[in-house]
Chain A
Amino acid sequence: MTDQTNNTGFDWASPSFQSHMKKRRRSQIQLKLLGLGAIAIAFMMLMLLITSLVSTGYHAFTQTHLKVEVFLDPEHLDPAKPARGNYRQILTDTMKTQFPDVPDDRAELRKLTSILSNGAQFTIRDRVMENPDLIGETVQFNVPVADTYDQLNKGLIDPDTPEEYRRLKNDEIANFELLKDRGAITEPLNTALLTNADSRFPELAGLKGALVGSFYALLTCFLLSFPLGIGAAIYLEEFAPRNRVSDLIEININNLAAVPSVVFGLLALAVFLGWFGMPRSAPFVGGMTLALMTLPTIIIATRAALKAVPPSIREAALAVGASKQQVVFGHVLPLAMPGILTGTIIGLAQALGETAPLLLIGMNAFITSAPSTPFDSATALPTQIFIWADSPERGFVSRTSAAILVLLTFLIMMNAIAIFLRQKFERKW
């Protein structure tokens, strides 16, 4: 075995070294498998979440409608005051003509009109108010049906359930099947989900109020936290002397980023609503609250981005005689901008999904119209999800999932923009 000893004095072929190598290889493979396993589990969880959301939520993206000929009876309508007409009676008459065999009995007629959504009368009223000349004519309308019939049409009501436990009785189902056989039932895309504000009736409820509210809140949040955050970060990173005070400020900013959001909500409730008497449920106040939360995130991201600018660039600018301010605003800040924007967008995406502070300032109110200014009462997307998840009507189950999908879409879009900005403006030195 003389060939095993070489001039380095180490035996690379010895069994002990071979087993050592084998052990090293094995632990490397184990680590790799663990990593793959972690990713697989995370991916499965994500898929589970999305599948469950989509499988319940997709029902909300269509809405069953009834195509029906409505005689705009001049007996119940005054052309001078189209808003004051008896539209309920017109609908009852309409349904009576649809089902001539049904006896003319109050309870039976009520059953028939309850096929239609409560919003049907407003659909007709709006059309008449738009064009009062229609009075006396027969016009075709496509109106949403009530939530229970929507559920029936989507197969969410099991006809095998004993009648007394079912929300729709046999005769009601028969009536609906009759309409379906006539081809009067359609199931178009549920545009109301995005164009209507909230409603007690699931078939009429939409996210417009929440979308506009969230937009105003995020806009306020951005306008407040972006300039303040960047300003604070530039001062702390570039101009502030390093001493105990600045250390204390730095520690506190890092702590603020970790404060639970509900605490910011309580603070806003006490200060903005309590002391300053700002309006309740207003997206503007919601935005201010979210800005409190987003501010530390933006400051930390901005400081990290400023720190990442290579010192050679600062030296280069200083050496040609740029002042500190010219160095910061002319060179460092533009180079740090992609990092700052990425951090800001991620901070805003966080703010978009934040619920607790908005609940505390009353942005979970039931509001049936979209806000026209940031100072009007409104909900936001997460609080709207919270309200819907809390509602007993069956239609809100799928609408809650649909709203979550809408929120997730916005979050994914914002994160995609952040990634795009980072890739586009990333510089190599």
Chain B
Amino acid sequence: MTMFDVTKPETAVDQTDIKIAASNVQVFYGDTQAIKDVDVDIQDKTVTAFIGPSGCGKSTFLRCLNRMNDTIDSCRVEGRILLDEQDIYAPQVDPVQLRAKVGMVFQKPNPFPKSIYDNVAYGPKIHGMARTKGELDEVVEKSLRRAALWEEVKDRLDTPGTGLSGGQQQRLCIARAVATRPEVLLMDEPCSALDPIATAQVEELIDELKQRFSVVIVTHSMQQAARVSQKTAFFHLGNLVEYDDTNTIFTNPQDPRTESYITGRIG
């Protein structure tokens, strides 16, 4: 849609699709407003990074996209968020089903204290996505391959997922998230609890995941945003300050606050 797409030929074809369109989103925790008037269009088969100082609302906004905020009693969301042109906050939408379509990976790896196999198979099982054991095996293998974990764990699928290393656990969580065949993958600081090598592996994986999913990643690290994302949104004090192509944000920010943040003067 813009000339920037020319620089990324592998995604250029699909980038015109808007996967999530959020307009005028406000989030309140009780009386305090955490998100103010956020408008953002998230593209399909793209990695979108949310950056900003601590407490700026980037994680809160991410959690609106799969309605995880519903589980917090005092939280209230206003505005419209469309997933494939359908309002996800419409009354007829079941948040349980939505969360299978919009997968999520958390800051701290949180595998279930079950076997590696059961961790990945859990989602497909509860949604009735696999009718036979063979189908389920196939889903598990495919998901683990997508998370670049298959080769490491294929011989010990029945050992506990909590016994893996931190980086492997996080990839297991990614496998678990992609097993329900989501369309969007939300990642809330997925590498902040990992060492640099595991981080590099997960980043590499994110790059591959964008072939199939729209990936939204919240990160504290601007270097990471620059490395993995094509689009970047800068949040500050609950406002979406600037949203543009990652290159533009980091080389030619329009807003002075963005510039201060990426040059390290605020945050």
Contact = CB atoms under 8 A, between A and B. Distances in A.
- Shortest 9 CB-CB contacts between residues of A and residues of B: A321-B100, A320-B123, A312-B110, A319-B104, A321-B99, A316-B110, A323-B96, A321-B96, A427-B113
Interface string A44-66: 00000000000000000000000
A326 interface: yes
B177 A319 contact: yes
Contact of B126 (A242, A313, A322, A429): A322
A315 interface: yes
Interface residues of B, number: 27
A48 B16 CA distance: 84
B111 A316 contact: yes
B68 interface: yes
Contacts, number: 65
Contact of A320 (B108, B162, B177): B177
Interface string A210-235: 00000000000000000000000000
A118 B161 CA distance: 68
Interface of B: 66, 68, 71, 73, 96-100, 103-104, 106, 108, 110-113, 122-123, 126-127, 162, 173, 176-177, 179-180
A326 B103 CA distance: 17
A377 to B, nearest CB: 48
A312 B173 CA distance: 12
A36 interface: no
Quick one: which of A241, A316, A317, A428 has the most chain B CB within 10 A? A316
A321 B127 contact: yes
Contacts of B97: 321
Quick one: which of A318, A320, A330, A331 has the most chain B CB within 10 A? A320
Nearest to A241: B73
10 contacts: A310-B110, A316-B111, A316-B112, A317-B112, A318-B68, A319-B66, A319-B177, A321-B126, A321-B127, A330-B122
Contacts of A300: none
Given A319-B103, A320-B176, A335 B113 contact: yes
B75 to A, nearest CB: 13
A304 to B, nearest CB: 19
Contact of A326 (B66, B126, B173, B177): B126
Interface string A115-154: 0000000000000000000000000000000000000000
